[in-house]
Structure 1
Amino acid sequence: MDGYSIFLVMLAVYIAGLVAIGWYFNNRQKSVTDFWLAGRRIGPSALGFSAAASWLTAGGILAVVGYYMLQGMGSIWGFVAPNILALLFLAVLVKKIKNLPAITQPELLEQRYGSIVRWPIALIITVVMILFSVADITGLSLVLQVFYGLDPFYAAAIVAIAVSLYVTLGGLYAVIWTDTIQFAFLAIFAIGMAFATVGTVADGGLSTSAISASVLFGNVPGDWWNPFSIGLPMVLIFCLAIIPGWITEQDPWQKVWAARDGKSATLGMIIGSLMITVVFAACAVIAIALNSIYPEIAKMGFPAGMALAEPALLTFVSERFASAPVVIAFSAIGLAAASMSCTDTFSTSGASCISRDIYQRYIKPDATMKEMMLVNRVSVLFIILAATAGSFVIPNIIDAIHIATFIASSSYFFPLMGGLYWKRATKEGAFTGMVVGFTVQVALVVLDLIKTPPLAPSYLESIHPILMSHGVIVGMSLSAIAFFGVSLMTKPSSRVNLAPFFEEEAEELSRYEAREINEKDPEYSAFLKNVDEKVAGERTHLQLNLLASGNLSWHELIEKLKVGSPAWVTPTGLDSVYRLTHGDMLACVAVTRGTGERDIWLKAEPRLETVGRQKKELFTAYEELKKVLDKKGVNLDFN
């Protein structure tokens, strides 16, 4: 059996395993929260491994090795350090993020500002996720091309088929648990290659002079180890350009929401940063050894040498293990795992914006979960196909990642973080800040790509250092001016919009008290037997699945509920209606569509100390829902 056949067999087994995980979790989904947020029951270890895997792309690993080879530790600020620091910053922000009542960032921003911001932020996040996926497709294309001479189309086909199958079956559950497996493959590959490259130098393999490991590392120039060799101003520019975009990236926020409690989310982000550090440390060792094996690459300098430095690790694997096709196949699987672990996260995040924040919010508010999953599956394929097309336009791996990050930083860093911490932020300010930042940044990126010759310093950077990184500092500055300026000139947000984000405002909404219910009432006792109750960290998840005797007019149902009781509100559109009885909106009862046309789901996520009260709230919501449907001649049964 030749090397390519071995790879195909190993790939088929690997993908089958991922799909089996997706199928397993498919049968455990009983609510919207189960599909989109893994039931909010993920522990710190799984969360940490998933967070690490989601930010370690195959292309990113190859590019990092290339940057280490040409620029040493001074290159860490372009990718390595922001990865680590962003996860640590997110660990600090967990307390503010964790209890916000949202599944996606566009939904969150609609709760904060109103519907005017949901569709633009959903489109921007989708674009950003496509650009991040470009790096994965490009990286895997490079792997398959060097190892097996395959066309880039096959890389996209492998990722599209595998990811669309297991993600759309198992939702975020599948993403997190397959990420854990994929990170293990990648870590084993990176650490294994560190030993292999150093061992090759020590043995004098590949026509190199045999030198010991101590001599190898002792011969590294002193300035190679200096992380500030690029100068403190450049370090600050890189941090300001990249870290804000990664802090506000949607996919780690969804994982914070998926954690079983705040402590798990915080610990998970810290574990993720440590796991990333281990892999990047292995990459540094690999780069030092490769500089000894291929000294001509380092002599070319940056950026001219990147064309050879980026695939240098793949070249080493092909030459060193030419007689061991199983090792090459395992290496290809390890890097394919890295591509899938990132693409599944990016495609899930982007697809959630398309299916939930655009399709269900604006096109079909009464869409069922079955319809949503179909749209989600198509959206995953769309994102991967768009990323494949983008990989031919942006062939540089790190540049694809940077462009995505810069657009995120300029577009929604200030509206998102300002909305969390600044009461005076308004919908007009958020909308203006997003549009100005996105438009300016995209224009600067396009101008830079058009005007910059191949393998030359960027056009904008040659004009002035402040314009480095595709002028992201300018884009962010204009976004901030628009956001803060317009917010101060417009009417403050309403208390309903502020309540989920500011405790003092929430207290003012605690005006609808639960009515008194006799706990010995047989009807209430029968009701409780049908409530699915699961404890996850500091909260209990209450879920009640109902089946209507006839088809539902969702729009009419929601409007009747709102007329019947002032406690019912729709802060994020008709797809979800909340019974707003107190400031903890996550604990309030919410009604959503179920899997089929006649399914209705009621849910609440109260803190452990308020479970008794919220069970009564759930019963009250059930009775009010039943009363509305009774008038239409529609009965409700427990499902």
Structure 2
Amino acid sequence: MDTTLIIGFGITLAAYLVVLVAIGWYFNKKQKTVVDFWLAGRKLGALPLGFASAASWITGGGILAVTAMYLLGGLGSIWTFAAPNVIALFLIGLLVTKIKSLPAITQPELLEQRYAGSIRGPVAVIIAIVMILFAAADISGLSLIFGVFFGFDPLFAAVLIAVSVSVYVLLGGLSAVVWTDVIQYLMLAGITIFLAIAVIFTASGDSMLSVSDFITTSAPAGWWNPFSIGIPMILIFCIAIMPGWVSEHDQWQKVWAARDEKSARNGFFFGSFLMLLIFGISCCLLGLGLRVLYPEIADMGSAEVALLNFISSHYGAPVIIASALGLTAAAMSCTDTFSTSGGSTISRDIYQRYIKPDATMKDLKVVNRIAVLIIIVGATIVSFLPINIIEFIHIATYIASAAYFFPLMGGLYWKRATKEGAMASLIVGGVSQIAMVAIDLYMGATNGVYYLETISPVFTAHGVILGMALSAVALVVVSLMTKKSSVYNLAPFFPDEAKVLERDEVDHVNVNSEEYKTYKKALKIEKTGERESFHLELKASAPLNWERFTDELAKSSDAWISTGRHTIYRLTHGDLLSCPTLSRGNNEQEIWVAAEPRLEGSNIAQVEVFLAYNEVAALLKSMGILTNLIVPEAKK
């Protein structure tokens, strides 16, 4: 063990972590609401989104594993992992218009709005498990890197990434995640491209060929054939992987965090290109060069460490330290995303939804950070299971594809999907997929082939195609056998249903009255892309029983719709983002009213927020409680 090398890496890593923590601290000062913590205040532009969407899917271990796949299987192996990554990000870009208009912070919350409260908890648990598995792959990969370079015990790598990521994510939330991901992508891209060039030049020199001749002639017949694994296997991998990734919770959160649809769309298209640059080009060249340098390698375990062995044997401390730091950055960029995404489901969809619906924003700031720690600690523990890096990722993806892909996408695009159908789909697909994974892991693999696949090709990839088929059938059959969803559940997702709820009430408000002018002074308006963000703070004269208050408000008018009591909407048209939303403020006397209308609907939305305020004030007055408007400092 080279002590000088370890000390040099430690100093470099410490300096890097100081930068990350500083970013987290900076954004910590800007947080006021859960939207600020989980969705970066919905203010992210295309460039940071692009870098973050790519960085959050490029792990240090993933780079090693994808390179190993190319080394062993040639270009055809691109379909087992790399191509689905690139295509999935591009498809999310195509779905931006639909996703961005959905009024949620998390997917479980969205599914409750579409179906019913009963589905929210199970989906939250599944997403948390999936995020833990994804993060475990990153920690496992980093353990491998540190073991080869520095001889560190795997526990050291696990503790290092857990502590490091926890600090800046707990401080800055999604804003810190995205902006640290920008730095981390640039670092990992720089070192990966450098290593690809170095490996190719070294291999071509050993072969006494020019670089161009080496690339075109050194590979065996069929190595450059992208369809070498066969069309059936390509379809299996795409069907098994892409649904889970297209519907992945962490990337949808980034769409919701974008300042507008254009930024989100361009960001994901850019992210798809950035992913292609690493997984599609750089790792492919690495695999080709390493295949020539290490022709004796024939198994995945040896192939995964080939790049690390090349670096150790050909370069000194500066390159080793830079490589270790770049791959560490890749691991962190994924772990922070998955911990934030999984933490949001624990905080908002489990704690606030079921344990304490009347939690104040002050309470949630603490719970948000505890939830992130739960995901990171869980991933650290799981990373010690005897599962390789890609297998962690594949298992997590298969569970997501089979469990909640069809309830989610079916709910968005099929009006006839019902809460009973969604729950059946979730249970049948999720339970069957988890059972097949458990059987395969228990029985083990022979020559790289898991037990169930030896029974029938139907069980290829832990039987995910079967699991997805069962999930889809359950959704369709049970939905057609049960009653159609309520118009209040359908309105936010289908414009024709929303027309039933439209109200002609805005023209009856006198916007020149003193009452309206007083309200306007208290209304905080901030432009965020093609929308404006409204924020109105009310202070009650006494602490509120939030459960009683929301129940009474929902009874007072059919316009008020509750999603688990912590949030209640005044639903008057299909664009739920622009509808007034109530949530608890910093303490038990504060009520926050918010809305995010499109720019062209700003004036109407201001009146709707005013009407919501009046209805809240009237209800509280009937309960013997007075309300005052809190005027922002800038307007006083």
Q: Which moved more, 1:9-18 or 1:65-74?
A: 9-18
- 2:555 equivalent to 1:563: yes
RMSD of aligned alpha carbons: 1.7
Structure 2: which amino acid aligns with 1:274?
F
Secondary structure, counterpart of 1:222 in structure 2:
coil
Q: 1: distance between equivalents of 2:309 and 2:591?
A: 56
Secondary structure, counterpart of 1:224 in structure 2:
coil
- 2:273 equivalent to 1:274: yes
Deviations 1:450-486 (A, max 9, x none): 2224653222222222211011111111111111111
In the other structure, the counterpart of 2:510 is 518
**2:418, 2:479 within 8 Å by CA — same for their partners in 1?**
yes
- 2:384 equivalent to 1:386: no
Change (3 A) 1:427 1:563: closer
Change (3 A) 1:596 1:311: farther
**1:512, 1:567 within 8 Å by CA — same for their partners in 2?**
no
In the other structure, the counterpart of 2:153 is 151
In the other structure, the counterpart of 1:137 is 139
Structure 2: which amino acid aligns with 1:216?
F
Q: How much has 1:518 moved relative to structure 2? A: 2.7
Q: 1: distance between equivalents of 2:81 and 2:104?
A: 29
Q: 2: distance between equivalents of 1:128 and 1:583?
A: 31
Change (3 A) 1:174 1:401: same
- 2:461 equivalent to 1:462: no
Q: 2: distance between equivalents of 1:130 and 1:278?
A: 27
In the other structure, the counterpart of 2:190 is 188
In the other structure, the counterpart of 1:110 is 112
- 2:211 equivalent to 1:213: yes
Q: 2: distance between equivalents of 1:521 and 1:20?
A: 47
In the other structure, the counterpart of 2:296 is 296
- 2:319 equivalent to 1:319: no
Q: 2: distance between equivalents of 1:114 and 1:141?
A: 42
Q: Give the TM-score, by structure 1 length.
A: 0.95
In the other structure, the counterpart of 2:531 is 539
**2:133, 2:393 within 8 Å by CA — same for their partners in 1?**
yes
Secondary structure, counterpart of 1:230 in structure 2:
coil
- 2:584 equivalent to 1:584: no
Q: 1: distance between equivalents of 2:473 and 2:322?
A: 50
5+ residue gaps, structure 2, are none
Structure 2: which amino acid aligns with 1:581?
T
Deviations 1:282-315 (A, max 9, x none): 1111111111221111xx2xxxx11110111111
**1:513, 1:581 within 8 Å by CA — same for their partners in 2?**
no
Which of 384, 388, 395 is the matching residue for 1:396?
388
Q: 2: distance between equivalents of 1:320 and 1:91?
A: 41
Deviations 1:527-553 (A, max 9, x none): 222322111222111112334444322
Change (3 A) 1:260 1:245: same
Q: How much has 1:516 moved relative to structure 2? A: 2.9
Q: How much has 1:431 moved relative to structure 2? A: 0.3
Q: 2: distance between equivalents of 1:596 and 1:337?
A: 38
Tell me how many residue pairs correspond in the alignment: 626
Q: 1: distance between equivalents of 2:107 and 2:545?
A: 28
In the other structure, the counterpart of 2:258 is 259
Q: How much has 1:202 moved relative to structure 2? A: 4.4
**2:411, 2:417 within 8 Å by CA — same for their partners in 1?**
yes
**2:522, 2:629 within 8 Å by CA — same for their partners in 1?**
no
**1:40, 1:536 within 8 Å by CA — same for their partners in 2?**
yes
- 2:258 equivalent to 1:230: no
Secondary structure, counterpart of 2:501 in structure 1:
coil
Q: 2: distance between equivalents of 1:427 and 1:133?
A: 31
Q: How much has 1:519 moved relative to structure 2? A: 2.6
Q: How much has 1:581 moved relative to structure 2? A: 2.0
**2:34, 2:364 within 8 Å by CA — same for their partners in 1?**
no
Q: How much has 1:194 moved relative to structure 2? A: 0.9
Q: How much has 1:73 moved relative to structure 2? A: 0.9
In the other structure, the counterpart of 1:354 is 346
Structure 2: which amino acid aligns with 1:287?
G
Q: Which moved more, 1:155-164 or 1:573-582?
A: 155-164
Deviations 1:388-415 (A, max 9, x none): 2222224311111000010011101111
In the other structure, the counterpart of 1:573 is 564
In the other structure, the counterpart of 1:169 is 171
Q: 2: distance between equivalents of 1:184 and 1:26?
A: 24
Deviations 1:546-569 (A, max 9, x none): 344443221122123223333222
Structure 1: which amino acid aligns with 2:293?
I
**1:156, 1:384 within 8 Å by CA — same for their partners in 2?**
no
Q: 2: distance between equivalents of 1:165 and 1:307?
A: 32
Q: 1: distance between equivalents of 2:140 and 2:227?
A: 29
Secondary structure, counterpart of 1:260 in structure 2:
coil
Q: 2: distance between equivalents of 1:192 and 1:403?
A: 31
Which of 383, 388, 399 is the matching residue for 1:407?
399
**2:569, 2:579 within 8 Å by CA — same for their partners in 1?**
yes
Q: 1: distance between equivalents of 2:197 and 2:101?
A: 44
In the other structure, the counterpart of 1:70 is 72
**1:548, 1:637 within 8 Å by CA — same for their partners in 2?**
no
Secondary structure, counterpart of 1:535 in structure 2:
strand
Q: Which moved more, 1:325-334 or 1:434-443?
A: 325-334
**1:31, 1:601 within 8 Å by CA — same for their partners in 2?**
no
Q: 2: distance between equivalents of 1:167 and 1:545?
A: 28
5+ residue gaps, structure 1, are none
Q: 2: distance between equivalents of 1:373 and 1:193?
A: 42
Which of 490, 501, 513 is the matching residue for 2:482?
490
Structure 2: which amino acid aligns with 1:66?
A
In the other structure, the counterpart of 2:92 is 90
Deviations 1:226-258 (A, max 9, x none): 111111111111111111111111111111111
Deviations 1:153-211 (A, max 9, x none): 2222222222222222222111111111111111101101112212323454xxxx554
In the other structure, the counterpart of 1:622 is 613
Change (3 A) 1:467 1:563: closer
Change (3 A) 1:362 1:257: same
Which of 568, 588, 598 is the matching residue for 2:589?
598
Q: Which moved more, 1:358-367 or 1:544-553?
A: 544-553
Q: How much has 1:629 moved relative to structure 2? A: 3.3
**1:512, 1:581 within 8 Å by CA — same for their partners in 2?**
no
Q: Which moved more, 1:433-442 or 1:158-167?
A: 158-167
Q: How much has 1:424 moved relative to structure 2? A: 0.8
**1:241, 1:472 within 8 Å by CA — same for their partners in 2?**
yes
In the other structure, the counterpart of 1:199 is 201
Secondary structure, counterpart of 1:569 in structure 2:
strand
Deviations 1:505-535 (A, max 9, x none): 0010113623633333333223222322111
**1:31, 1:543 within 8 Å by CA — same for their partners in 2?**
no
Q: Which moved more, 1:276-285 or 1:30-39?
A: 30-39
Q: 1: distance between equivalents of 2:446 and 2:361?
A: 47
Structure 2: which amino acid aligns with 1:258?
A
Q: 1: distance between equivalents of 2:6 and 2:504?
A: 66
- 2:169 equivalent to 1:178: no
Secondary structure, counterpart of 2:292 in structure 1:
helix
Q: 1: distance between equivalents of 2:93 and 2:548?
A: 42
Q: Which moved more, 1:409-418 or 1:212-221?
A: 212-221
- 2:365 equivalent to 1:373: yes
In the other structure, the counterpart of 2:285 is 285
Q: 1: distance between equivalents of 2:374 and 2:447?
A: 31
Which of 35, 39, 46 is the matching residue for 2:48?
46
**2:421, 2:476 within 8 Å by CA — same for their partners in 1?**
yes
The percent of aligned pairs where both chains have the same amino acid is: 54
Secondary structure, counterpart of 1:431 in structure 2:
helix
**2:572, 2:579 within 8 Å by CA — same for their partners in 1?**
yes
Q: 2: distance between equivalents of 1:62 and 1:100?
A: 37
In the other structure, the counterpart of 1:480 is 472
Structure 2: which amino acid aligns with 1:12?
A
Q: Give the TM-score, by structure 2 length.
A: 0.95
Q: 1: distance between equivalents of 2:83 and 2:404?
A: 22
